[in-house]
């Protein structure tokens, strides 16, 4: 058990290393002179040279890679061209809104999606099931930004129930904080809810076909007990797994949602950095987002041991 | 014993018909079947796959899948109460209190995330008013009764920590804890090894006598029937063709179908054969070892010695049987010899060539000399290819022209008693037994010297099994092949093997002429294995007029 | 009788066994089964309609989608432009979906935008399926390669897809080919995993072992026995990739990190409409509806294909 924890934690190291190396080579493998690309169409030769110098592009590749990895390990993610400050510091300033948005979305998703999926599975083939499945296909298909604008139009502009855009820190009071997060969280959670509801339904249905469910019925247990006690816990692992994997969707969605609702978080920072061709910042953000993603999935794997006594690796 | 048993039956099934979904090849899963189970008796429902025996058991429990199978006529009376008309609530109340059921797969029938104790406790908690301490005492008591070792510990164990036999004991404990009048056992020992099977059968018999339970026992195995049945109902295509006492049905069957079925059961007495030849060995293995498993960083070594110093030989024209329970390493040996896996050490001589270590390239020229037939006829043929293409694949690999290979395939089809004109059909158009014949034809197309049959008849119904066995034996004789026959079934082994290797835990514990081993087993394990074979004292097919 | 919906292993397999015997005579062809599936029919029809729309764009009462007309900026849907031509005849043009801040006809841009979306969706699916198929086959069959390839794929999968695409586009000069490539790369590992898992399970099948022991060479085993098993799952997966690629392309364009703004794509039209969204929501609404309907249609098609071609796929991914 203990060794499982350690091995699972160690197993993330090659993945993280791989991510870091990708990010490194992504810049170096682009066709043409990366420095020229970064300088943009109007870059002067002097600017290009400066960029080359600051990125250490004049060094041989292995040395560049070594420096780059050592910097990451020290927590030094470089200097932003666009914002003219330490990227680490910049990320620190922008992290709160993103964390807030992601957390509310995650909570909303789990609270809505799991019951929806369970109900759909229990009432398989009924209009309720078809409704949930229909919503799920729809949820996968509506682009977050279209949904965001529709929500904004209806609930903020027409009904005036919520502020149109913006963000207030939780330190300025919980009321205004949560008030501004309602619409973005809904917009962001729809695709995630679609995913989790679907997988919940599928897992529960699969479990309901298992032999031990038949045993439970043969014991004379009522349907409700069979479902809640026997089916749900066995269906939990795939559900939790997909909640973890779905965080990738969430991260992609954060970038869009923050742009639509004008939330000054890491997603907005990403877009600004891309538009400003601020490569050190883009690089750092990819690392931060990917590392977070890997970390969350590590946590998910570790919860397996709580859910299933068979897992002892 | 049933003759003196004139009590009111606990279960009476009268004229029961269960309808299959529309569009199936027959209308009823079971049709107008009637039988009864009296207290303290075991009634065996026996039949081949698709005969409807399981459906009739599930209808009694009210567990037929809704929308797929519906009881449309007849009645099922549990102590006089018609189950078919009972409300869902009433059915629930009856389950586990008056009627209980145990299933075929003990591995999957228990909830993997609940402790065994909790799963038994659920029955008590739901059906009785007992307090917690009282329930615990009762659970420990029933666990004692089903002879689980160390109940105090077992009560907190999860199913995966138990062996298959132990799990089936938990199921039995769960079923009998509230003393039902009827126990339905649906092939409860089919998934178990023969020695475990013997223990479970004995346990069911004992508990049933002690508690006075009536048992409806579903099985396909006439050995089991001979071992435990008081009365027997034989089913075919959804109908009961014969119902009577064990002695009547097994020794004096009235119906031709029953006679055919029982005659198909291979005898435990080894067949007199040509005798062991001294022809040149086609296959010799010397100290063959196969070790599976990985050791890794921070990981416990999990090495499994699947085959340990196995040295066997098969001569031209003779059949060597390798028998053993699951996990004995018999299939591992077969797969090493066919070089589907690479042995860890040792030598494998085909004639005089050691193929144990040959690389892919060199091995290829030796491949055609050894051919293998697998257990599962449904997965042994590529479902997307015409069977003709499957048969000629081998010869064309070695340069035979397609036309020539097809000509040969037609001859082989005739040899395995199939229509040579059906080469352009797909596997799904054939039954399991026919597919196994096609696989034999495919193997023979290579003109092998050694034919390996890896549990090749185990998945087949007993009547089909008898035909395929006969075919294999025929072919061996006609083509003067060496045959390596892997099986867990001692009856089958007794009929086709000249020599026998008994394997246990990766080792060959006894090796010699089949007749000698059957008549006078030397090794303790062999004796245990033979003693466990159900119905071993029953001579099937010797009918009394 | 019991009201249990869920099937029970033994009994249902018994029903199967009984049903199987004459399966051959009743077996519907794949096409018949597809046409019986509602999702396939609805999704397929909408897709066919969209393809038609994109091919016939010039014939559908459109004007040049990039023609800028400063006098007709920010007009609401239905606004009529009236002018007199050289022959002193009065001409009129209705902006069915209004115009954008540069005075371009939104209707024309939306119709032409269909082309880009479909091209991106289909090309990305074709590319990622072919790449993933090749890599996955090798990884599944060559043991030493497997570890290495899967480590690389794990690394790629650890970077959230949209983020990776944004980064890739931002590095190169924006253009259709760059965008396609940037969307393809994050999709490849998923295909590789799918193909590899199929290869790993098929190579355990007795019929593959039988082929090995009859001396069939590796490339023939892959071609005859393994490859056909990947077709159905890959068609289904490919359909889903079309949907997600169309969405990601729109997101990239919307964020300004995609196809150059002068090319009419749904994402670009919406990006254009962002600024004045509060007053003129039509520039987001119309392309948004087209985008949502198209993606919905592709997803429905995917679900239907999965149900008919490969019912086990949901478990596998």
Mean pLDDT of B224-236: 93
pLDDT at B296 over 80: no
Per-residue pLDDT band for A312 (boundaries 50, 70, 90) equals low
Touching chains, C (3+ CB pairs < 8 A): A, B
Calculate mean pLDDT across residues B347-357. Answer: 90
A208: nearest CA partner in chain B? B111
Report d(CA B176, CA B214) in Å as an integer. Answer: 12
Provide the ipTM: 0.86
Which chain C residues contact residue A165 at CB under 8 A?
none
Assess whether B383 and B430 both reside in one domain: yes
Do B390 and B432 belong together in one domain? yes
Query: What are the tens digits of pLDDT across the range B52-87?
Result: 888 888 999 988 887 788 888 899 999 989 999 889
My answer on whether B483 and B521 are in the same domain is: yes
Residue B23 domain-assigned?
Answer: yes
* pLDDT, position A72: 85
Give percent above pLDDT 70 in chain A.
95
> How many domains is chain B built from?
4
pLDDT at residue number A30: 66
CA neighbor of A208 nearest in space, from A124, A131, A85: A124
State whether residue A125 sits within 8 Å of chain B by CB.
Answer: no
Domain final residue pick, B427, B447, B467: B447
Cβ atoms of A259 and C170 within 8 Å: the answer is: no
B539 found inside a domain = no
Looking at the structure, tell me whether residues B246 and B190 fall in a common domain. Answer: yes
Residues in B 407-446 with any Cβ partner in C closer than 8 A:
426, 428-429, 431, 439, 442, 445-446
Q: Is residue A74 predicted with pLDDT exceeding 50? A: yes
Is B343 inside any structural domain? yes
Question: Among C40, C158, C257, C305, which would you mutate to test the A interface (most chain A Cβ atoms within 10 Å of its Cβ)?
Answer: C158
Task: Give the mean model confidence (pLDDT) for residues B212-221.
Answer: 93
pLDDT, residue C26, reads 46
HEC string of chain A equals: CHHHHHHHHHHHHHHHHHHHHHHHHHHHCCCCCHHHHHHCCCCCHHHHHHHHHHHCCCCCHHHHHHHHHHHHHCCCCCECCCCCCEHHHHHHHHHHHHHHHHHHHHHHHHHHHHHHHHHHHHCCCCHHHHHHHHHHHHHHHCCHHHHHHHHHHHHHHHCCCCCCCCCCCHHHCHHHHHHHHHHHHHHHHHHHHHHHHHHHHHHHHHHHCCHHHHHHHHCCCCHHHHHHHHHHHHHHHHHHHHHHHCHHHHHHHHHHHHHHCCCCCHHHHHHHHHHCCCHHHHHHHHHHHHHHHHHHHHHHHHHHHHHCCCCCC
Is residue C90, in this structure, part of any structural domain at all?
no
Residue C314 has pLDDT above 50, yes or no: no
Q: What's the CATH code of the domain at A212?
A: 1.10.3720.10
Taking only the tens place, the pLDDT of each residue in C61-119 is: 666 777 677 776 666 676 676 767 777 777 666 666 777 767 677 788 888 889 999 99
Q: Which residues contact C75 (CB under 8 A, 6 or more apart)?
A: C81, C95, C98, C99, C103
Q: Residue C1: pLDDT above 50?
A: no
Least reliable range by pLDDT among B155-159, B249-253, B371-375, B534-538:
B534-538
Question: Does B271 fall in a domain?
Answer: no
- B359 and B498 together in one domain: yes
- With an 8 Å Cβ cutoff, are C160 and A293 in contact? yes
* B113 and A CB contact within 8 Å: yes
Say if residue B380's pLDDT is above 90: yes
A212 touches chain B (CB under 8 A): yes
- pLDDT, position B402: 94
Say what the pTM is. 0.85
pLDDT at C259: 85
Query: How confident is the model at residue C59, as a pLDDT?
Result: 73
* Residue range of the domain that includes A232: 95-307
The count of structural domains within chain A is 2
pLDDT band at B352 (very low <50, low <70, confident <90, very high): confident
pLDDT of residue B275: 58
Lowest mean pLDDT among A248-252, A301-305, C85-89: C85-89
- Tell me the average pLDDT across B454-479: 90
Q: What digits encode the pLDDT tens for the residues C257-286?
A: 888 888 888 888 888 877 777 777 777 888
Task: Check CB contact of B114 with chain A, cutoff 8 Å.
Answer: yes
CB B427 within 8 A of CB B438: yes
The mean pLDDT of chain B is 89
Say if residue C9's pLDDT is above 60.
no
Q: Do C65 and C5 belong to one domain? A: no
pLDDT of residue B5: 55
Closest Cβ opposite residue B112 in set A3, A217, A234: A234
Instruction: Tell whether A130 is covered by a domain.
Output: yes
B311 plus B286 within the same structural domain: yes
Please check the confidence at residue A31 and state whether its pLDDT lies above 70. no
Mean pLDDT of B371-389: 92
Q: Report the CATH number that the domain containing residue B246 is assigned in CATH.
A: 3.40.50.300
For the segment B169-193, the average pLDDT, to the nearest whole number, is 92
With bands split at pLDDT 50, 70 and 90, how would you rate the model's confidence at A27?
confident
Flag if C12 and B68 touch (Cβ within 8 Å): yes
Determine, yes or no, domain membership for C81.
no
Across the range B357-366, mean pLDDT stands at 86
Mean pLDDT value across chain C = 80
Nearest to residue B180, comparing CAs of B39, B276, B85, B20?
Answer: B39
- Per-residue pLDDT of B306-325, as tens digits, reads 899 999 999 998 999 999 98
Q: Which CA distances in Å does A239 have to A135, A173, B114?
A: 18, 34, 19
Residue B101 scores a pLDDT above 90: yes
Residues C26 and C128 grouped into a single domain: no
Lowest-confidence segment of B211-215, C13-17, C174-178 by average pLDDT: C13-17
Confidence of residue C227 (pLDDT cuts 50, 70, 90): very high
How far is the C-alpha of B326 from the C-alpha of B339, rounded, in Å?
21
Q: Show Cβ contacts of residue A110 under 8 Å, excluding neighbours closer than 6 positions.
A: A196, A243
Residues A147, A198, single domain; the answer is yes
Q: Is the pLDDT of residue B295 over 60?
A: no
The helix (run of H) or strand (run of E) holding residue B442 is helix B432-444
Range of the domain at C21: 1-36
B13 or B276: which carries more pLDDT confidence?
B13
Is C157 or A42 the better-scoring residue by pLDDT? Answer: C157
Same-domain check for residues A162 and A243: yes
- Interchain proximity A255–C162, CB inside 8 Å: yes
Per the structure, the count of domains in chain C is 2
Q: Place B216 in a pLDDT band, splitting at 50, 70 and 90.
A: very high
């Amino acid at each position: 058990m203990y060794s499982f924890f350690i091995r699972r934690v160690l197993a993330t190291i090659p993945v993280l290393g791989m991510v870091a190396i990708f990010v490194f080579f992504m810049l170096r493998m682009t066709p043409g002179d990366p420095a020229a690309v970064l300088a943009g169409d109007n870059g002067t030769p002097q600017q290009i040279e400066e960029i080359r110098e600051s990125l250490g592009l004049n060094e041989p590749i292995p040395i560049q890679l070594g420096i780059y990895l050592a910097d990451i390990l020290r927590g030094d993610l470089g200097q932003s061209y666009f914002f003219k400050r330490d990227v680490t510091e910049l990320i620190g300033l922008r992290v709160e809104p993103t964390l807030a948005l992601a957390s509310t979305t995650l909570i909303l998703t789990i609270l809505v999606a799991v019951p929806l999926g369970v109900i759909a599975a229990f009432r398989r083939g009924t209009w309720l099931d078809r409704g949930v499945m229909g919503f799920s296909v729809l949820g996968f298909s509506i682009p977050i930004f279209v949904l965001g604008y529709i929500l904004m139009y209806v609930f903020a502009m027409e009904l005036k129930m919520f502020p149109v855009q913006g963000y207030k820190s939780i330190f300025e009071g919980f009321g205004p904080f949560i008030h501004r997060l309602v619409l973005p969280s809904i917009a962001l959670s729809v695709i995630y809810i679609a995913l989790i509801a679907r997988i919940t339904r599928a897992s529960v249905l699969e479990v309901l076909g298992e032999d031990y469910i038949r045993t439970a019925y043969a014991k004379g247990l009522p349907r409700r007990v069979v479902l809640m006690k026997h089916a749900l816990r066995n269906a939990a692992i795939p559900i939790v797994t997909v909640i973890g994997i779905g965080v990738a969707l969430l991260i992609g969605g954060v970038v869009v949602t923050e742009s639509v609702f004008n939330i000054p978080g890491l997603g907005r920072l990403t877009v600004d950095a891309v538009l400003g061709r601020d490569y050190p910042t883009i690089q750092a953000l990819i690392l931060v987002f990917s590392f977070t993603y890997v970390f969350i999935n590590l946590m998910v794997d570790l919860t397996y041991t709580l859910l299933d006594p068979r897992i002892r690796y | 014993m049933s003759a003196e048993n004139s009590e009111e039956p606990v279960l009476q099934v009268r004229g029961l018909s269960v309808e299959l979904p529309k569009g199936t090849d027959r209308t009823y899963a079971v049709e107008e079947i009637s039988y009864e189970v009296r207290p303290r008796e075991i009634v065996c429902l026996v039949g081949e796959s698709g005969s409807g025996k399981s459906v009739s058991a599930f209808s009694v429990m009210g567990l037929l899948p809704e929308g797929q199978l519906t009881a449309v006529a007849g009645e099922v009376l549990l102590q006089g109460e018609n189950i078919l008309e009972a409300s869902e609530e009433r059915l629930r109340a009856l389950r586990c209190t008056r009627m209980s059921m145990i299933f075929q797969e003990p591995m999957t029938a228990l909830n993997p995330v609940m402790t065994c104790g909790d799963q038994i406790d659920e029955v008590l908690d739901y059906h009785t008013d007992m307090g917690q301490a009282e329930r615990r005492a009762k659970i420990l008591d029933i666990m004692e009764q089903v002879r689980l070792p160390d109940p105090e510990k077992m009560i907190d164990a999860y199913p995966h920590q138990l062996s298959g036999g132990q799990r089936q004991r938990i199921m039995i404990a769960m079923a009998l804890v509230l003393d039902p009048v009827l126990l339905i056992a649906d092939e409860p020992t089919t998934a178990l090894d023969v020695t475990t099977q013997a223990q479970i059968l004995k346990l069911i018999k004992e508990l049933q006598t002690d508690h006075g339970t009536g048992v409806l026992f579903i099985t396909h195995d006439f050995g089991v029937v001979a071992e435990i049945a008081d009365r027997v109902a034989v089913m075919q295509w959804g109908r009961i063709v014969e119902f009577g006492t064990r002695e009547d049905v097994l020794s004096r069957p009235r119906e031709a179908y029953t006679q055919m079925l029982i005659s198909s059961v291979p005898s435990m007495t080894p067949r007199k054969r040509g005798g062991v030849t001294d022809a040149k060995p086609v296959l010799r293995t010397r100290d063959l070892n196969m070790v599976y498993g990985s050791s890794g960083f921070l990981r416990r070594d999990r090495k499994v010695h699947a085959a340990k110093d196995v040295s066997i030989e098969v001569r031209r024209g003779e059949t060597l049987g390798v028998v053993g329970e699951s996990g004995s390493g018999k299939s591992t040996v077969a797969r090493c010899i066919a070089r589907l896996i690479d042995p860890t050490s040792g030598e494998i001589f085909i004639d005089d060539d050691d193929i144990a270590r040959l690389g892919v390239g060199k091995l290829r020229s030796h491949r055609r000399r050894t051919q293998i037939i697998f257990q599962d006829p449904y997965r042994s043929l590529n479902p997307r290819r015409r069977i003709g293409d499957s048969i000629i694949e081998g010869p064309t690999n070695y340069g035979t022209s397609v036309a020539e290979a097809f000509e040969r395939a037609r001859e082989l089809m005739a040899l395995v008693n199939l229509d040579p004109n059906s080469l352009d059909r797909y596997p799904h158009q054939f039954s399991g037994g026919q597919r196994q014949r096609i696989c034999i034809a495919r193997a023979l197309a290579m003109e092998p010297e050694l034919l390996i049959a890896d549990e090749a008849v185990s998945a087949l119904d007993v009547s089909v099994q008898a035909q395929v066995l006969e075919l294999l034996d025929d072919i061996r004789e006609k083509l003067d092949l060496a045959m390596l026959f892997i099986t867990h079934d001692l009856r089958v082994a007794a009929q086709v093997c000249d020599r026998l290797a008994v394997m246990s835990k990766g080792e060959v514990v006894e090796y010699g002429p089949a007749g000698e081993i059957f008549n006078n087993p030397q090794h303790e394990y062999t004796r245990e294995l033979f003693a466990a074979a159900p119905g071993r004292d029953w001579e099937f097919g010797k009918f009394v007029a | 009788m019991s009201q249990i919906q869920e099937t029970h292993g033994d009994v249902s397999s018994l029903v199967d066994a009984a049903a199987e015997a004459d399966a051959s005579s009743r077996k519907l062809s794949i096409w018949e089964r597809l046409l019986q599936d509602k999702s396939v029919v609805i999704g397929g029809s909408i897709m066919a309609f969209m393809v038609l729309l994109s091919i016939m764009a010039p014939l559908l009462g459109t004007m040049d989608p990039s023609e800028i007309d400063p006098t007709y900026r920010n007009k609401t849907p239905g606004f009529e432009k009236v002018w007199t031509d050289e022959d002193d005849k009065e001409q009129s043009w209705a902006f069915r979906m209004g115009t954008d801040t540069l005075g371009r006809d939104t209707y024309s841009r939306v119709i032409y935008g269909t082309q880009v979306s479909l091209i991106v969706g289909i090309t990305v699916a074709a590319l990622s399926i072919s790449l993933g198929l090749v890599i996955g086959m090798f990884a599944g069959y060559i043991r030493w390669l497997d570890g290495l390839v899967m480590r690389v794929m794990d690394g790629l999968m650890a970077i959230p897809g949209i983020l990776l695409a944004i980064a890739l586009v931002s590095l190169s000069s924006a253009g259709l080919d760059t965008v396609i490539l940037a969307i393809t790369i994050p999709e490849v590992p998923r295909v590789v995993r799918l193909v590899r898992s199929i290869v790993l399970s098929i190579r355990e099948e007795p019929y593959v072992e039988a082929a090995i022991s009859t001396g069939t060479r590796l490339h023939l085993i892959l071609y005859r026995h393994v490859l056909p098993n990947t077709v159905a799952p890959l068609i289904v997966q490919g359909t889903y990739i079309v949907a997600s690629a169309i969405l990601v392309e729109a997101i990239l364009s919307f964020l300004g990190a995609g196809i150059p703004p002068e090319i009419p794509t749904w994402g670009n039209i919406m990006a254009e409409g962002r600024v004045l969204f509060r007053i003129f929501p039509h520039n987001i609404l119309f392309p948004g509806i087209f985008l949502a309907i198209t993606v919905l249609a592709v997803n429905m098609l995917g679900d239907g294909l999965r149900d008919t071609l490969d019912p086990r796929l949901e478990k596998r991914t």
